Structure 1
Amino acid sequence: MHTVGLPRTCLGFTNILCFILAFIGFTICAWCAINTDFFREVNYTVTKSSLVDTVANFMSLKLWLTPVTSVLIPIALLAMMTSCCGVLGAGCKVKCAIKSYIFLVSVLSSVAFWLFFISGMYNIYTNNERTCKYLQSSIQSYYGKENDLFTNIWDYTMVNYKCCGAVSYRDFTNSHWQKSNPDKMFPVQCCILENETHLIPVSKDCIRDENDIHSYKEMGCMYALRHSIINNKGMIIFYIIFLVITYCILILFSYCIIRGEPLLGAMAQNFVSFLPQPKEGVTKPSSTLPYHSNSSLENMLYMEEPPKKIVKVVSAVNPFQTYKFTPSAYERGDTCPHSVGHTL
């Protein structure tokens, strides 16, 4: 606890782990961008896992007109660069690297918190009208396109949260999807499903008969998501607190490395700066240690600094009388009669 090695070790290990995960994500994105079928064939042969198809299908989606991989690759590169700054700052004590790490982590955390919790959960929880209209417009403009990210998000939401559209099934009226499916009132995802994996509805007339009761056509996803957030409010608050504490710990460790002080030392230094300083002319008690700090609290903390030099001055009047001075005394501009020390 009393060395700066603890923050350096924790921060270095955390960033090495983040770099490995970001590198794996970058490799997957780049591989799928080049050849998705080859990625699916090789990894499924090795792992025999259905997760391979899920990842490959996700990477083949498009966000508007842009492939998802073209968005995820810069994010993975930015995460790798941030982790490199953290590793250089923790392992090599490069201050510019650790300062860049603090800046990047702060920006990324702020953007993620704003997009996920404020623009997403909070607006849904408060039943924000603008958010509701945006969800309705996304259905009108983007839903139903092949290999589209918005379409897949809506399909997943409607199947897992038992809902239909943003407000109701009427959101699909005159939409891009209905123009391609004029004989259907709403997608099969709005129906009560017998098999969710293969999208087999309980009633075959669900998507055509307006009077069929085997659907969630009047249950809007805005309401369903809000109800889910209310039911899981405690867990969401726990995740927010956990992420905030994690961010504060990373920033505190980075601050300790910049100061070159242990965890308690950096906190004590800030606390001591708020205490009233002694007046000039008041002699402080001497220290028997090879060097001493400006307060008794700092003397209890082991600092990773080289030993300070001690200057001895011999009185010209009395050769047997000497004074000891520390470099900190000269930094404050004290003169010999007012300096910290003791007479030998």
Structure 2
Amino acid sequence: MHSAGLPRSCLGFTNMLTFIFGVICLAICVWCAINTEFFREVNYTITKSPWVKTIANFVNLKLWFTPMTSVLIPVACLIIFTSCCGILGAGCKTKCALKSYIFLVTAITLASFWILFVSFIYNIYTNKQTTRNYMTTTLRHYGKENDLITNFWDYVMVNYECCGVNDSRDFIDTDWHKKNLDKLYPVQCCKFANKTALMPRSKYCTISREDVAESFADRGCFVALRESIKGNKRILTFYAVLILLIYLMITSFAFCIIRGEPLIGPIDPEDVMFVPIRRDVEKAVQSQSSLDNMMFVDEPPKKVVQVVSVLNPNQRYTIAPNSLPNSIH
């Protein structure tokens, strides 16, 4: 197998799944933007899943004055474009596509990590006052219909059993309080007899801050979220490390394809410790070379005799056996 074959296969498979996910998200957003009721009827008839209603409600929420579809559609298109760069780079080994893929994956990973783990989780864990003030600012828009911020605070208050950012007094200057002057805080701050139906235990809830109201009016959500993060910091650290490892793995695959070879080169035989070969194994292996299979016979050494003339001492004869004198010095 080629040295870059495994990274190409892994990168191509991963981006193919990402491409399918992006196409599905884009189709849902466009479908809900055109006709949400038709999306609910068709999908609930086919899948019969309660997630259909949840997805449809989430897509139709508004982020301040902007519908969520106007935010999710560009995000889905970005995911599709990034996965296409990864597929093109893995399939055709196009370096330009691979470099674009590395840049887009890096930008998306850094943005997601910064928003989720740094701006939200880390700042709450370290009790940053600026984050507390920003959360109080977002709470002022609480009470709007089909609003993402309102749904976020409803979810936090119900599931983390808290009220407001600091306490229930944070709702005094909100849009919700202007429409509900007879109440001190929303029903989501109450202790429930039935959490699904939002049925409070006490009839005095939302109109009193005393113990008889049986509410969480004095427990702020910032403290509740901080306690939850402290209790689950190992799991959150695991997820952060997992995201980092996935990012490093994907970018390593892309770098392998660009180089055309693995990140770790072949091992030099000279660096490997010498392991002696057993003699019986060495004898059993026969060489296929013709030179190794040839037999050579050593020639006996030649004897050379030098004869000196009596009449002329400077004249000498060199005689080899069975040959005439071949040289005279």
Is the TM-score greater than 0.5? Answer: yes
Q: Secondary structure at the match of 2:264?
A: helix
TM-score of the aligned structures, taking structure 2 as reference length: 0.80
Pairwise CA distance, 1:262: 2.6
TM-score of the aligned structures, taking structure 1 as reference length: 0.76
Q: Does 1:98 align with 2:122?
A: no
- Structure 1 letter corresponding to 2:187: V
Q: Is the 8 A contact 1:7 1:263 kept in 2?
A: no
Give the structure 2 partner of residue 181 of structure 1.
180
Distance 1:150 1:132 in 2: 15
Q: Secondary structure at the match of 1:155?
A: helix
Pairwise CA distance, 1:198: 1.3
Pairwise CA distance, 1:174: 2.5
Q: Does 1:296 align with 2:304?
A: no
- Structure 2 portions without partners, runs of 5+: 273-329
Measured at CA, do residues 183 and 89 of structure 1 come closer, stay the same or move farther in structure 2, by a change above 3 Å? same
Measured at CA, do residues 15 and 170 of structure 1 come closer, stay the same or move farther in structure 2, by a change above 3 Å? same
Give the structure 2 partner of residue 232 of structure 1.
232
Measured at CA, do residues 298 and 35 of structure 1 come closer, stay the same or move farther in structure 2, by a change above 3 Å? farther
Q: Secondary structure at the match of 2:193?
A: strand
Q: Secondary structure at the match of 1:264?
A: coil
Pairwise CA distance, 1:298: 11
Moved beyond 6 Å, runs of 4+? 297-300
Distance 1:184 1:264 in 2: 67
Spell out the pairing of 1:208-219 with structure 2 (5 A cutoff): 208-211=207-210, 212-219=212-219
Pairwise CA distance, 1:2: 6.7
Larger relative contact order (CA 8 Å, sep ≥ 6): 1
Q: Is the 8 A contact 1:193 1:202 kept in 2?
A: yes
Give the structure 2 partner of residue 113 of structure 1.
113
CA RMSD, 1 decimal = 1.7
Distance 1:4 1:155 in 2: 50
Deviations 1:107-159 (A, max 9, x none): 0000000000000101110111011111111112x100010000000000000
Distance 2:269 2:36 in 1: 61
Measured at CA, do residues 57 and 175 of structure 1 come closer, stay the same or move farther in structure 2, by a change above 3 Å? same
Give the structure 2 partner of residue 172 of structure 1.
171
Measured at CA, do residues 245 and 297 of structure 1 come closer, stay the same or move farther in structure 2, by a change above 3 Å? farther
Rg (Cα) greater in structure: 2
Distance 2:237 2:201 in 1: 37
- Structure 1 letter corresponding to 2:220: G
Q: Is the 8 A contact 1:155 1:189 kept in 2?
A: yes
Pairwise CA distance, 1:299: 11
Distance 2:95 2:4 in 1: 14
Q: Secondary structure at the match of 2:120?
A: helix
Q: Is the 8 A contact 1:2 1:264 kept in 2?
A: no
Pairwise CA distance, 1:47: 1.3
- Structure 2 letter corresponding to 1:153: F
Question: Greater CA deviation, 207-216 or 231-240?
Answer: 207-216
**Count of matched residue positions in the alignment of Structure 1 and Structure 2:** 271
Give the structure 2 partner of residue 200 of structure 1.
199
- Structure 1 portions without partners, runs of 5+: 269-294, 301-344
Measured at CA, do residues 79 and 115 of structure 1 come closer, stay the same or move farther in structure 2, by a change above 3 Å? same
Distance 2:270 2:75 in 1: 42
Distance 1:297 1:245 in 2: 31
Q: Is the 8 A contact 2:3 2:260 kept in 1?
A: no
